[in-house]
Amino acid sequence: MPGIPLVTRETSCSRNADQMCRVESRVHLSEEEEIAAEESLSLYCKPVELYNILQRRAIRNPLFLQRCLSYKIETEHRRRIQMTISISRTSGGGGQAHNLFPVYVILGRLVSDIAVAEFSGVYRFNRACLLTGINRGECSSQVVANFILPEINKLAVEAKAGSLAILFVSHIGPTNTLSGVDSVDGSLYMASVPAVAGYCLWGKIPLESLYISWQNSSNFGLGQRAEIMSTVDMRSCVLKTTCLDGEKCLGFQIPFNSDSMHTAQQVQVTISAEEFGARDKSPYDSYTYSVIPSSSLSHMIRLRAGNVIFNYRYYNNRLQKTEVTEDFSCPFCLIKCASFKGLRCHLLSLHDLFNFEFWVTEEYQAVNVSTKADVWRSEIIADGIDPKQQTFFFRSRHLRRKKVKNVVQSGKHIHPFVVESEYSDKADDAQSSQGEKALISGHNVAPTMLQFAKTRKLSIERADLRHCNLLRKRQFFHSHRAQPMALEQVLSDRDSEDEVDDDVADLEDRRMLDDFVDVTKDEKQMMHMWNSFVRKQRVLADGHIPWACEAFSQLHGPNLVKTPALLWCWRLFMIKLWNHGLLDANSMNSCNIILERIHSEASDSKS
């Protein structure tokens, strides 16, 4: 098993404090017990073997879950600097100082190509933090501003460019100069940027100076917190919010008649920074195994955060072997699971051939593993049976596609046939469930029914050349006449599958009407004409009736006009429709107009 092997029994016995997760195991066993224990340990072999196979398969095509996990681990380990800014004191003209709050703290980037000459500085920014008071333990007020900076090496580039600075902006008087800026949850977002202008106080700390002091601090390099106190001069200026290239900008304009009335204002700022992501690391992380003396290895292993102890129980839970994995990795497939919780999910879902007990103490995390009594036996081939001779269905979309092609090519000579499995007698109880009828086929082809279903489906997508070729390979028959269809017909777009044979339908309709005894000949003919019309024109809904009546009058008008008896049948029928609310008076009127027009035309041509 992978991981770092620990000495088995001795180790587990050596630490008495581990009672909760370790069962005392007997050190001394008789020879027989020894063998039995070995045998019981060997139960682990087959599931582990199976998981090794699965793991090898997963290398090429990793599970989605694992890809997510590795991303999560990566981001967690990325180093960043978290910077916390708080204003500890304001000094200046006594009572005036209090008026500085609220103060906006902004991480801004100086726009180098100043388009607007009147500004002494234009800064681009994303986020502004609003500080409302001095840290006096008041919960309601916002006292610190947090910023996340890239790691120190990346920061160097930014710092040397000298464009980044921390800005402090305070309004004067009761009016809020930053009215164009919305405050959401203590942070400020620029919703819309109207050109807001106003007097304010502002000060800045260039990031470069912070960077230099961080670099000089030895503690910071080791991942410890670095605190810098700094005093910022607040100068008065005119502030203007603008929008440049869709980004929020602040422009500061130092008025010419600056009487430096407020320059005396100073703010003392505490800036603390620490490397983010470093906090989780223990000092041991920076050591490698080679430098640690092996005697203290087991002790050290416990102290590392990502280390998990796995106890493999065997011989009726009387004995166990122990190993430790790093970074919350799974001992079976070496997947790093990011957290103990992740490991727990992973083990339970992917390695269900074992039982797991999870233990978490302040000192370490441990998992007790034991084999499941019989569950895995059905999934793992028993001894003495050649898996190659076992038949089973393996269905995969990709393969099935190929097979269809095969079937068509090799013709009808391959038919699946059913045989009794020979192994049903020999196989033990583990096999008996599979020892029923097994379907064996020449080339492992899908059953013939499937093949037909496939080919029929393909005819829909005939545009594809390949499908077209498939259509050529087999004789098709007409669904109504059962006559072999010529290729030209098969490939044509015409589909007569659900067509109604009008001639035959007419014939049958007439025959049906002939059965009526109390209906006159004209009525029968009228019925037949209407039935035939309705079927051909697919008059299905009530709403179709007005249209149908007009079209019928138009179509059969000459015929109706010629035989008055028929015409009366038609009129009576329309009245019946009107009675049922299917035909409105307007439509009936227009029908009669049509008939009248045809009538007059007929009489005109006669005369």
Partner 1 sequence: MAKYSLGSEPVVGSLTPSRKREYRVTNRLQEGKRPLYAVVFNFIDSRYFNVFATVGGNRVTVYQCLEGGVIAVLQSYVDEDKDESFYTVSWAFNVDGSPFVVAGGINGIIRVIDAGSEKIYKSFVGHGDSINEIRTQPLKPSLVISASKDESVRLWNVHTGICILVFAGAGGHRNEVLSVDFHPSDIYRIASCGMDNTVKIWSMKEFWTYVEKSFTWTDLPSKFPTKYVQFPVFIASVHSNYVDCSRWLGDFILSKSVDNEIVLWEPKMKEQSPGEGTVDILQKYPVPECDIWFIKFSCDFHYNAAAIGNREGKIFVWELQSSPPVLIARLSHAQSKSPIRQTAMSFDGSIILSCCEDGTIWRWDVMTTS
Cα distances (angstroms) measured from residue 61 to each of 40, 57, 64, 349, 406: 34, 7, 9, 18, 27
Q: Is 83 exposed, middle or buried (0-12, 13-18, 19+ CB in 10 A)?
A: buried
- 483 touches partner 1 (CB under 8 A): yes
Which residues lie closer than 8 Å to 116 by C-beta, 6 or more apart?
122, 242, 251
- Give the three-class secondary structure for 342: helix
- 412 touches partner 1 (CB under 8 A): no
Q: How far is the CB of 495 from partner 1 (least distance, A)?
A: 14
Task: For the segment 439-478, give every residue that binds partner 1 (CB under 8 A).
Answer: 477-478
Which residues lie closer than 8 Å to 155 by C-beta, 6 or more apart?
81, 149, 207, 211
- Show the CA angle centred on residue 171, arms to residues 84 and 246, nearest 5°: 70
Q: For the chain, how long is the longest CA-to-CA vector?
A: 131
- 485 touches partner 1 (CB under 8 A): yes
Q: 19 vs 483, which CB is nearer to partner 1?
A: 483
Q: 436 vs 488, which CB is nearer to partner 1?
A: 488
Q: How far is the CB of 488 from partner 1 (least distance, A)?
A: 7
353 contacts 373 by C-beta, under 8 angstroms: no
Which range in 185-193, 284-292, 354-362, 502-510 contacts partner 1 by CB under 8 A? 502-510
The 87-126 site mask, x for binding partner 1 (CB under 8 A), equals: ----------------------------------------
Please identify which residue in 398, 511, 521, 606 interacts with partner 1, judged by CB under 8 A: 511
Q: How far is the CB of 482 from partner 1 (least distance, A)?
A: 4
553 contacts 591 by C-beta, under 8 angstroms: yes
Q: 285 vs 501, which CB is nearer to partner 1?
A: 501
Terminal-to-terminal C-alpha distance of the chain: 111
- 480 touches partner 1 (CB under 8 A): yes
Ranges of beta strands (E only) in 140-265 are: 144-150, 164-171, 181-184, 187-190, 196-206, 226-233, 235-244, 247-253
Containing H/E element for 50? helix 45-60
Q: What phi and psi, each to the nearest 5 degrees, are found at residue 519?
A: -125, 135
Please identify which residue in 17, 20, 460, 482 interacts with partner 1, judged by CB under 8 A: 482
Q: 362 vs 515, which CB is nearer to partner 1?
A: 515
Please identify which residue in 5, 221, 484, 543 interacts with partner 1, judged by CB under 8 A: 484
- 501 touches partner 1 (CB under 8 A): yes
Instruction: Map 520-538 to HEC letters.
Output: CHHHHHHHHHHHHHHHHHC
Query: Would you tell me the crossing angle of helices 564-579 and 585-606 to the nearest 10 degrees?
Result: 170
Q: How far is the CB of 410 from partner 1 (least distance, A)?
A: 19
Q: 402 vs 478, which CB is nearer to partner 1?
A: 478
Q: How far is the CB of 478 from partner 1 (least distance, A)?
A: 6
Please identify which residue in 489, 589, 592, 603 interacts with partner 1, judged by CB under 8 A: 489
Pairing mode of beta strands 247-253, 266-276: unpaired
- 57 touches partner 1 (CB under 8 A): no
- Token duo for residue 435: 């020892």
Q: What phi and psi, each to the nearest 5 degrees, are found at residue 325?
A: -115, 155
Ranges of beta strands (E only) in 235-364 are: 235-244, 247-253, 266-276, 308-314, 319-325, 354-360
Q: 79 vs 510, which CB is nearer to partner 1?
A: 510
Query: Is there a cis peptide before residue 102, judged by omega within 30 degrees of 0?
Result: yes
Q: 466 vs 511, which CB is nearer to partner 1?
A: 511
**Amino acid in position 75:** T
Please identify which residue in 348, 507, 519, 555 interacts with partner 1, judged by CB under 8 A: 507
Q: 10 vs 515, which CB is nearer to partner 1?
A: 515
**Distance between CA atoms of residues 167 and 343, nearest Å:** 45
Buried b (16+ CB within 10 A) or exposed e, 392-420: eeeeeeeeeeebbeebbeeeeeeebeeee
Q: How far is the CB of 501 from partner 1 (least distance, A)?
A: 7
Q: How far is the CB of 489 from partner 1 (least distance, A)?
A: 6
The 515-534 site mask, x for binding partner 1 (CB under 8 A), equals: x-x-----------------
Which range in 2-10, 241-249, 384-392, 496-504 contacts partner 1 by CB under 8 A? 496-504
Q: 93 vs 484, which CB is nearer to partner 1?
A: 484
Q: Is 568 exposed, middle or buried (0-12, 13-18, 19+ CB in 10 A)?
A: middle
Task: For the segment 536-575, give every residue that binds partner 1 (CB under 8 A).
Answer: none
Cα 277 off chain centre by: 27
Which residues lie closer than 8 Å to 297 by C-beta, 6 or more apart?
4, 289
Q: How far is the CB of 465 from partner 1 (least distance, A)?
A: 24
Q: How far is the CB of 508 from partner 1 (least distance, A)?
A: 7
Q: How far is the CB of 386 from partner 1 (least distance, A)?
A: 38
Q: 386 vs 488, which CB is nearer to partner 1?
A: 488
Q: 32 vs 488, which CB is nearer to partner 1?
A: 488
Q: Which of 228, 204, 237, 196 is nearest to 110 (CA)?
A: 204
Q: 106 vs 529, which CB is nearer to partner 1?
A: 529
Which range in 184-192, 320-328, 453-461, 498-506 contacts partner 1 by CB under 8 A? 498-506
Please identify which residue in 379, 464, 508, 542 interacts with partner 1, judged by CB under 8 A: 508
Tallying the residues shown for the chain, one arrives at: 607
- 388 touches partner 1 (CB under 8 A): no
Q: 352 vs 509, which CB is nearer to partner 1?
A: 509
Please identify which residue in 35, 191, 486, 575 interacts with partner 1, judged by CB under 8 A: 486
Which range in 3-11, 161-169, 499-507, 565-573 contacts partner 1 by CB under 8 A? 499-507
Instruction: Map 459-522 to HEC letters.
Output: HHHCCCHHHHHHHHCCCCECCCCCCECCHHHHHCCCCCCCCCCHHHHHHHHHHHHHCCCCCCHH
Residues binding partner 1: number (CB under 8 A): 20
- 580 touches partner 1 (CB under 8 A): no
Which range in 41-49, 151-159, 242-250, 513-521 contacts partner 1 by CB under 8 A? 513-521
Q: 26 vs 478, which CB is nearer to partner 1?
A: 478
Q: 481 vs 521, which CB is nearer to partner 1?
A: 481
Write the DSSP assignment of 353-372 as a string of letters. TEEEEEEE-SS-EEEEEEE-
Partners of 270 in the β-ladder: 86, 229
171 contacts 177 by C-beta, under 8 angstroms: yes
Contact residues toward partner 1 (CB under 8 A) are 477-478, 480-486, 488-489, 501, 503-504, 507-508, 511, 514-515, 517
